[in-house]
Amino acid sequence: MVQHVNHRGREKKLADICFVLNIEDTHVVSYALKKLANLGLVSGERRGKEVLWSTTKAGQALCERYRQVREACLMPGFSGADEENVRIGDLARLLRTLSGRYDQGARAASSI
């Protein structure tokens, strides 16, 4: 969740975080954000009725360290060639499409 709050360096609303994580129960996400705030990884700033969440310096450092470990573990298996990057992009699009279809099917099945 810290990674998503940190994404693009922009503040996020609770509803946006729930949407991206595909979690309908906002209480669960709100509870997790409060726990992360107590750890000093995220902070919330109230603006009107909304709370906008962003990462702290410690949260940003954690995300950067995670990026380094992820790249060290994953990148040696890839050549980095343009053709490989295109194939991976195509596969990612297919997986997003399939995921969307399964979500749509699950929603339709639950409403019957």
pLDDT tens, 64-109? 999 999 999 988 888 878 899 899 999 999 999 999 999 889 888 9
Total tally of structural domains belonging to the chain: 2
Q: What is the CATH number of the domain that holds 42?
A: 1.10.10.10
10 & 40 share domain: yes
25 & 68 share domain: yes
9 & 54 share domain: yes
Q: With bands split at pLDDT 50, 70 and 90, how would you rate the model's confidence at 112?
A: confident
The domain in which residue 92 lies consists of 79-112
Return the pLDDT at 4.
Answer: 94
71 & 90 share domain: no
C-alpha 43/C-alpha 52 separation (Å) is 8
Handedness of CA 58, 62, 67, 69 (dihedral sign): positive
Q: Tell me the pTM.
A: 0.74
61 & 110 share domain: no
C-alpha 8/C-alpha 58 separation (Å) is 16
Return the pLDDT at 92.
Answer: 95
70 & 86 share domain: no
User: Residue range 17-46: average pLDDT?
Assistant: 95
C-alpha 19/C-alpha 24 separation (Å) is 8
Share of the chain above pLDDT 70, in %: 100
42 & 83 share domain: no
59 & 14 share domain: yes
Instruction: Identify any residues that bridge with 43 across adjacent strands, giving them in sequence order.
Output: 54
Return the pLDDT at 107.
Answer: 84
112 & 83 share domain: yes
Q: Is the pLDDT of residue 26 over 90?
A: yes
